[in-house]
Structure 1
Amino acid sequence: MSLDGREALYDGSNSDGHFLRRPMSPHLDVYRFRLSMALSILNRISGVASAVGFGLAVTWLGSLAAGSKEYGRAQRVVNNPLGKLALAGWGVATVYHFVAGIRHLIWDDGHRFEKHQINEDGRITVAVTGGLSGVLLGAVFVLSRCRRKARVQG
């Protein structure tokens, strides 16, 4: 008997002793990797990343409450290029998790379960995430430039 994953059958017997050949749950090598699978994995990862980012945001707020010395230290971390990258990643992860959550709410309501609808919604989810993330990051960039310019002039 071949151990090919596509023929995932269980050979055994039932309680009466009769021979059975039942399908087992297929392993990952049975499925073709699809966008919807990647988006499901990304939804879980983005949820964790978003939670970690909110924890860091609370830490930043705590440094604000702790005084100018601690706040200055936190600002140096945030203004570092890696800090800015982490903030951008947090924003994208939070936006994606939000958009994917809306997709899951639609599924919970019993809609959009056809294979072509799931694939279409996956592409829409990626596009909406990209658009909203671009708007969010663009707005943060423009506001920080305006704030910096006001500080230099004032």
Structure 2
Amino acid sequence: MSNHQAAGGANGDRTGRYVRHPNGHVTPMSPFTSIWRWHITMVASILFRVTIGAATVGAVLVLCWLATAANGAEALTKLQVCLASPLGLIVGFGLTVVLFSFFLNGARHLINDFGHGLTVKSANLLSRIAVWGPLVLAVLFWVALFATGKVSL
């Protein structure tokens, strides 16, 4: 390897888009750095991973709810009061967004697995649906809950 290649990375690239690893391999920098422009498909992918963490929190809350229910009616009543509080409703809304995100991202991945939706235009459309759809569906769901009197402040 010439000095020019060693100084600039791969093939003398001086843009800073390549990294030389301790083992000597030269690879492009991570796509999450400034060399890549943010794109809706990246946002959909990252948000899907974030929802996995949020779903884990939701699973722990379900376990807590089951444990509380097992402790009797008095404990369950206290939990229901907590869930009906503004903070409880915010958590419930957030978990609803997570649930709809799983549905829409799962549908997006299923479509892709069948070999469809792989063009740039269709991938962008499916990603936009997966990013914004959960918010829209969650708002509609909670509006319906409030409108039917199932939930109130």
Q: For the structure 1 residues 109 and 51, does the alpha-carbon distance in structure 2 shift closer, same or farther, using more than 3 Å as the test?
A: same
TM-score by length of 1: 0.73
Does the aligned pair in 2 maintain the 1:47–1:94 contact within 8 Å?
no
Report which stretch shifted further, 83-92 or 48-57.
48-57
Greater share of helix residues, 1 or 2? 1
Is 1:35 aligned to residue 40 of structure 2?
Answer: yes
Structure 1 residue 127: deviation in Å?
Answer: 4.3
Are positions 1:106 and 2:111 aligned together?
yes
What is the letter of the counterpart of residue 4 of structure 1? T
TM-score normalized with structure 2 length: 0.74
| Equivalence for 2:51 | 46
Deviation at 1:91, TM superposition (A): 0.6
Partner of 1:65: 70
Cα distance in structure 2, aligned partners of 1:112 and 1:135: 26
How many residues align structurally? 135
Q: Which runs of 5+ in 2 are unaligned?
A: 1-6, 9-13
Amino acid at match of 1:5: G
Closer/same/farther in 2, CA of residues 121 and 79 from structure 1, 3 Å limit: same
Q: Which runs of 4+ in 1 moved over 4 A?
A: none
1:1-154 correspondence runs (5 A): 1-2=7-8, 4-6=15-17, 8=18, 24-27=27-30, 28-143=33-148, 145=149
Contact 1:60 1:74 in 2 (8 A): yes
**C-alpha distance in 2 between matches for 1:137 and 1:5:** 48
Matched AA of 2:29: P
In structure 1, distance between residues paired with 2:55 and 2:63: 12
Q: Secondary structure at the match of 2:34?
A: helix
**What is the deviation of 1:140?**
2.4
* Matches of 1:91 and 1:62, distance apart in 2: 21
Relative distance call for 1:9 and 1:47 in structure 2 (3 A) is: closer
Residue ranges of structure 1 left out of the alignment (5+ in a row): 11-21, 149-154
In our comparison, the structure showing a higher alpha carbon Rg is 1
- Deviation for aligned residue 1:142: 3.0
What is the CA RMSD across the aligned residues, in angstroms? Answer: 2.5
